[in-house]
């Protein structure tokens, strides 16, 4: 196993036996394990799509290129691999860490690196994207020997983000995504709830299999600090001062109500929503996520 700061090789033993079970028909450019929503004998022509870096050049449709000067590839398959896009929220709130040892952003990158390993090990196509108030980058899901190392490198050095906007980010993602597949979004989901759910409503259109993995620092659930503190909103810069011991009860009540509303909203949209805290080992969290998917 390759060395990577975002992927711990010790996770391999737990992750290697796992697989990402799609909740609907798969669609991808190479033969794999999942049933496509398109039917036909092996080798039948099914569709064309725009060429993307990493595609097999042997599948370029030269007839179309000669006629239109556009690079397209032919899709010919019955059974196809899964195409999965792994999206990481890089807005400022994700840089929070109560103990200074590991931010939510770092933990989220580890989650997606572990999922990329599972997908790659299962010969599935994976790509990584980053977003804040817009879609900062997006890689078309690919397979290949060098794909995993490139995904790890991207996750090791995510871009610096601005305050987030789910609607704008996911609207742009949907404009660039073609066909079916799976999307896994990692975020703390601490922004405005209406923006988050409106964004996921856009993302869920068109039959995508959408998962939302919420990453929180433990203190964000119970405000377990000691002594007077100054709290700063990492998205807006606003400051408040207070004693966590006095604030904790009302904070926990408000946070629990918000979490319940988020969970209900995701369920209503058909999103596979799961929550993890940063003290849980990454490989354990990913195994839990995949086992729950397989059981549904």
74 CB burial (10 A radius; 0-12, 13-18, 19+): middle
Q: Is residue 72 part of a domain?
A: yes
Q: Which residue among 30, 58, 76 closes a domain?
A: 76
Whole-model pTM: value is: 0.79
pLDDT confidence of residue 233? 53
pLDDT confidence of residue 120? 94
202-253: pLDDT as tens digits: 999 878 999 999 999 998 887 666 555 555 555 666 666 656 666 778 888 8
pLDDT confidence of residue 244? 63
Q: What is the CATH number of the domain that holds 102?
A: 3.40.50.410
> Can you give the residue range of the structural domain that contains 56?
43-76
pLDDT confidence of residue 14? 96
pLDDT confidence of residue 201? 97
pLDDT reading at 35 higher than 60: no
* Domains: count for the chain: 2
pLDDT confidence of residue 101? 77
Across the chain, mean pLDDT equals 84
148-158: pLDDT as tens digits: 999 999 999 99
Task: Tally Cβ neighbours within 10 Å of residue 177.
Answer: 20
Are 118 and 175 found together in one domain?
A: yes
Are 97 and 201 found together in one domain?
A: yes
The arithmetic mean of pLDDT across residues 120-144, rounded, is 93
Are 71 and 178 found together in one domain?
A: no
d(CA 24, CA 20): 12
Are 180 and 126 found together in one domain?
A: yes
Per-position b or e across 220-235, b if 16+ CB within 10 A of its CB? beebebeeeeeeeeeb
Are 210 and 144 found together in one domain?
A: yes
pLDDT reading at 93 higher than 70: yes
d(CA 173, CA 263): 23
Q: Which residue has the higher pLDDT, 180 or 227?
A: 180
267 CB burial (10 A radius; 0-12, 13-18, 19+): exposed
pLDDT reading at 87 higher than 60: yes
Task: Tally Cβ neighbours within 10 Å of residue 143.
Answer: 21
The arithmetic mean of pLDDT across residues 44-63, rounded, is 70
Are 62 and 206 found together in one domain?
A: no
Q: Is residue 121 part of a domain?
A: yes
Contact status, residue 59 vs residue 71, Cβ threshold 8 Å = no
φ and ψ at residue 217, rounded to 5 degrees:
-75, 145
d(CA 1, CA 10): 9
Are 54 and 102 found together in one domain?
A: no
CB hemisphere CA count around 15 (13 angstroms): 26
Are 255 and 131 found together in one domain?
A: yes
Are 147 and 271 found together in one domain?
A: yes
Q: Is residue 38 part of a domain?
A: no
pLDDT reading at 45 higher than 90: no
pLDDT confidence of residue 71? 82
Q: Is residue 187 part of a domain?
A: yes
pLDDT confidence of residue 265? 98
Are 135 and 14 found together in one domain?
A: yes
With a pLDDT cut of 70, the percent of the chain lying above it is 79
260 CB burial (10 A radius; 0-12, 13-18, 19+): exposed
The arithmetic mean of pLDDT across residues 67-96, rounded, is 82
Cα distances (Å, whole numbers) of residue 69 to 53, 60, 64, 73, 83:
17, 12, 7, 13, 27
Q: Considering only 33-42, 63-72, 90-99, 132-141, which range has the smallest mean pLDDT?
A: 33-42
The arithmetic mean of pLDDT across residues 133-144, rounded, is 92
Q: Is residue 1 part of a domain?
A: no
The arithmetic mean of pLDDT across residues 68-83, rounded, is 71
249-292: pLDDT as tens digits: 888 888 899 999 999 999 999 999 999 999 999 999 999 999 99
Return the SS3 of 292: helix
Are 128 and 273 found together in one domain?
A: yes
């Amino acid at each position: 196993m390759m060395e990577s700061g975002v992927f711990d090789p010790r996770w391999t033993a737990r992750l290697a036996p796992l697989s990402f079970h799609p909740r609907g028909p798969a669609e991808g450019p190479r033969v794999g394990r999942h049933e496509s929503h398109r039917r036909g004998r092996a080798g039948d022509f099914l569709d064309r799509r725009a060429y993307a870096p990493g595609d097999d050049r042997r599948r370029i449709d030269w007839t179309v290129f000669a006629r239109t000067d556009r690079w397209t590839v032919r899709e010919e398959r019955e059974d196809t691999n899964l195409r999965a896009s792994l999206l990481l929220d890089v807005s400022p709130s994700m840089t929070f860490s109560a103990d200074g040892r590991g931010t939510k952003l770092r933990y989220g990158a580890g989650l997606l690196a572990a999922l990329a390993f599972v997908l790659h090990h299962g010969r599935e196509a994976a790509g990584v994207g980053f977003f804040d108030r817009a879609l900062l980058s997006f890689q078309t899901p690919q397979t290949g020997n060098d794909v995993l190392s490139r995904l790890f490198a991207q996750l090791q050095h995510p871009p610096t983000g601005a305050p987030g906007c789910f609607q704008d980010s996911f609207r742009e993602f949907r404009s660039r995504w073609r066909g079916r597949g799976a999307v896994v979004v990692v975020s703390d989901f601490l922004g405005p709830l209406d923006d988050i759910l409106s964004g996921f409503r856009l993302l869920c259109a068109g039959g995508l299999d959408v998962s939302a993995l919420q990453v929180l620092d433990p203190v964000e659930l119970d405000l377990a600090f000691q002594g007077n503190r100054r709290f700063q909103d990492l998205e807006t810069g606003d400051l408040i001062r207070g004693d966590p011991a006095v604030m904790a009860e009302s904070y926990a009540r408000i946070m629990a109500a918000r979490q319940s509303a988020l969970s209900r909203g995701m369920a209503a949209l058909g999103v596979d929503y799961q929550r993890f805290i940063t003290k849980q080992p990454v490989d354990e969290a990913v195994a839990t996520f995949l086992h729950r998917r397989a059981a549904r």
